[in-house]
Amino acid sequence: MRDSRRVTAGSYPYDGSRQVASWHHHDLHQLEYAFEGIVEVQTAVARYRLPSRQAVWIPAGLAHRTTFDRARSVSVFFDPETVRDSTGRARVLPVEPILREMVIYAARWPIGRPAADTFADSYFGALAHLVLERLEDERPYHLPTTTDPLITLVMRYTDEHLDDVCLAQVCRAAAVSERTLRRRFRTVTGMTWRQYALHSRLLHAMTLLVRSDGAVHAVARTVGFGSTSAFSRAFLAYTGQTPSAFRRDRQDTAHTARAEGVHRPGR
């Protein structure tokens, strides 16, 4: 049943090759879920990597920029009165099968529909309760950002040379001593350079595992691990899955989404 009340929740599917959205914010909370490919969300303080089977929570009013890379995703929007989140911080959340299925089904109600729907209101209310529970189970799939020019240079150089980067190499590129870089990097980012490099390697590995069918040992070498066993241990500690299981689960999710169908809203 439709009525004259304003729409307080809805969805917006995306299906495309590569798109970089400009900086923007929404009046509604946003849950962005990737079925396939990679979605990256950047805020003023962090870059969030979203491989398939993960979702990123973007609170209302938070300025962000989104990059879609060969991605199929659905955004679900909620009125701030429906989901109370006072942190103002983006977070990456796990998406178990029931939440995934509810997000897929939510695509039938575009956020741009002209009027409220009683059934839709009830549905999004139930979905909101699930999301609130998952906000307590954040995943560490992000890297810090900064306006500090030296640390920005160091981060960029590190990300571009993951296969063989080391601290001495970074210091030469940035023309700074190791002691100065260690101290300044921790002060600016709250983490050590080695922690940053490890997280960057693992996040890039997640991307490679989703995008290609290359052997796990080849992925390990590409992101700078000397052995497959060391890579697998680090990846398991970071994601809770082995590299092979991580890839297999995301391929299964992509096949399920294609079979069930997620349609773009009318334009």
Q: Name every residue whose Cβ is closer than 8 Å to that of residue 27 and which is 6 or more positions away in sequence.
A: 60, 61, 80
Q: In the chain, what are the domain boundaries?
A: 2-134, 147-251
User: Please, are residues 49 and 142 in contact by the beta-carbon 8 Å criterion?
Assistant: yes
Torsion from C-alpha of 91, 92, 94, 97, nearest 10 degrees: 100
- What does 13-59 look like in DSSP terms, one character per residue? EEE-SEEEPPSB--SSEEEEEEEEEEEEEE-SSEEEEEETTEEEEE-
The H or E element spanning position 142 is strand 142-144
251 vs 208, higher pLDDT: 208
Please, which pLDDT band fits residue 256 given cuts at 50, 70 and 90?
low
Q: Which two tokens mark 64? A: 């962000």
Q: Which tokens sit at 192?
A: 């050590």
pTM of the model: 0.84
pLDDT of residue 50: 83
Q: How far is CA 75 from CA 110, 122, 191, 214, 262, in A?
A: 10, 18, 31, 30, 12
> Helices 167-174 and 178-189, interaxial angle, to 10°?
90
* Chain-centre distance for alpha carbon 176: 32
What is the C-alpha to C-alpha distance for residues 86 and 75, in angstroms, rounded to an integer? 20
Q: Sign of the CA dihedral 13, 18, 24, 25?
A: positive
Q: Which amino acid is at 82?
A: T
Average of per-residue pLDDT across 155-172: 97
CA angle 218, 221, 222 (to 5 degrees): 85
Biggest CA–CA distance in the chain, Å, is 67
CATH superfamily to which 147-251 belongs: Homeodomain-like (1.10.10.60)
Q: Are 235 and 204 in contact (CB under 8 A)?
A: no
CATH of 2-134, one of 3.30.420.40, 2.40.50.180, 3.90.1150.10, 2.60.120.810: 2.60.120.810
Other residues' Cβ atoms within 10 Å of the Cβ of residue 30: 23
* Residue 175, number of CB atoms within 10 A of its CB: 8
Q: What is the pLDDT of residue 4?
A: 60
* pLDDT of 106: 95
Separation between Cα atoms, residue 241 and residue 232, nearest integer Å: 9
CA–CA distance, 158 with 71 (Å, rounded to integer): 25
Residue type at 190 in one-letter notation: G
Q: What angle do CA 57, 43, 103 make, to 5 degrees?
A: 20
Structure confidence at residue 3 (pLDDT):
57
Residue 102: φ, ψ to 5°: -70, -35
The string of pLDDT tens digits covering residues 129-159 is 999 888 888 888 999 999 999 999 999 999 9
Over 50: is that where the pLDDT of 264 sits?
A: no
